[in-house]
Structure 1
Amino acid sequence: MMIDIPQLETSRLRLRALRFDDWPDYLAFLASPRAAFMDGPHTPATAWSYFCNDVAQWQLFGHGGLMFEDKESGAVLGQVALCKGPLFPELELGWFVYEAAEGHGYAREAATAMLEWGFRMRSEKSFVSYIAPANRRSVALAVRLGATLDERAKRPTPTTLVYRHQQP
């Protein structure tokens, strides 16, 4: 399957395909303690597998990761994704924000745009967000996005929380 990777825009952000020049900051994030809720910190080898997975899912499944950047400055602020592949029971809405961009509402803005795109372009009635219980900021964001805790959902690990985003 060949798919055109979407480019989405919000009032402040451009969501676009990953590029190789995103790799150094992506690696720095995944190698840092900030990646603790993504089974990190990661080695360059495991970070590379995450990066390639985010790119490959577009061609394999028609969904994947998008980097989000400030429309004015072009600064990359983080990533949002709809991912599944063989690793997750359901299609997941996930996100991460680089440290300098945290606390400005960028993740919510990017996740909202990705949800809207996902519901418009795909047949799923819901998406999930898999969140580590200690990741309070992501739990709070999932709730602000309108997701609810789904205790009966299948999960990638026994302790993972599953927040369900229903189609509007």
Structure 2
Amino acid sequence: MENLADQLVTTAAQILDESGLAAVTVREVARRTGVSHGAPRRYFPTLESLHAAVAHRGLTDLATALHAAGGTTDAWASAYVAFAMARPDTFELLFRHDDLEGAGSNLRGVSLPLLQGWCELFQGERPHCTKTDAITAWTGIHGIATLSARRALDLVGADPQALLARILA
């Protein structure tokens, strides 16, 4: 059985995936969880702290998807884009450092190991490449994921998988 803090985060994550970040309010999360509107404040004193907890959950979900995809850069890149397309609002929240900085939930403790894992995987497949090369590739992949999540690549007829192949070639 989940404790109340976990239930609140689960509800907030569902609202985020259904309706976007603007719909994730403390009052709406409380209503859908079936608790008083003040109850979430015991666990999340600010809306930003609730958003940070949801982002932490999203990063954990992303990490699970990446690790389940397999141990190649192609697999990770495809899983990264697939996650962004399946959960665009969650994906966007993960990179809202302007809103989440200092809000708690140790987001760097989850996100930095993902980036480090990417760099190790990239450099393992490409021993001549540097960490900067790996981060450069990730920024391109992130751009493809971001544009794919909002279907902007559809407008120009670009295939995300073809773009990923070019970046990883």
Would you call these one fold, judging by a TM-score over 0.5?
no
Higher percent of residues as strand = 1
Normalising by structure 2, what TM-score?
A: 0.29
Higher percent of residues as helix = 2
In our comparison, the structure showing a higher alpha carbon Rg is 2
